[in-house]
Copies of this chain bind each other. A is one copy, B any other.
Amino acid sequence: MREDYSNQLDSINQDLVVMTQLVGIAITEATQALLEDNLELAQSVIEGDAAINELNVTVEELCFKIAALQAPVATDLRLVMGGIKMAASLERMGDLAVHIAKQVRLRYPNPSIPAELAATFREMGEAAKKIVAAIGRVVESQDTSLADEIKNYDDTLDRLHRELFTAVLSDDWSHGVEAAIDVTLLSRFYERFGDHAVTVARRVIHIVTGEPYTK
């Protein structure tokens, strides 16, 4: 029974790690779709989201089951309760990648963003990819020293988000209202992606240290 219990706890972590991998693929492909106006890749992100949603349900059910049957305490309890919330954050990160992909599909075959902003969105995509890889490592290793790195990527995303705001509001903006709104929403999806990653990292710290969880 103990061994089975230990396996179940491992399963939560393993499923969460797989979720970070799938979300990493989703945001990478969504960014590539955005930069290349690639409808096929956008479609792949949209269709791939079902697997992330299913894992969210799987983690939640597993956490329920363990809570009911094993009455976990201390770190285990925090993992079981926190697992539900981490899975929810990851599921939401997948949704944000889908939002980006749907925007590509909506504008296809036209480009979704003006060419001069491609470099900024490429940088956002890189930061988003790295932040989700980092939370994957945090969940897997429980190494909370990666928290600073995650914070840095999130700061990068916030900075790029502000840069894009400045770009669309500048007097030089020549692409009209619709493109400005598109850029703002796309940029916000990346920025929120970073926020959710930080939430997951903080949750791991809470599980490992038992220190109060601050959102």
Interface residues of A (CB under 8 A from B): 53, 57, 60, 63-64, 67-68, 71-73, 77-78, 80-81, 84-85, 88, 91, 165, 168-169, 173, 176-178, 180-181, 184-185, 188, 212-213, 215
Contact = CB atoms under 8 A, between A and B. Distances in A.
Contacts of A63: 81
Given A184-B181, A215-B53, A68 B68 contact: no
17 contacts: A63-B81, A64-B77, A64-B78, A67-B72, A67-B77, A67-B81, A68-B72, A68-B73, A84-B85, A91-B215, A168-B177, A169-B178, A169-B181, A173-B177, A180-B180, A180-B181, A181-B181
Per DSSP, chain A at the interface is helix
Contacts of A64: 77-78, 81
Contact of A81 (B84, B184, B212): B84
Query: Counting chain B CB atoms within 10 Å of each CB, which of A53, A80, A180 scores highest?
Result: A180
Contacts of A213: 57, 60
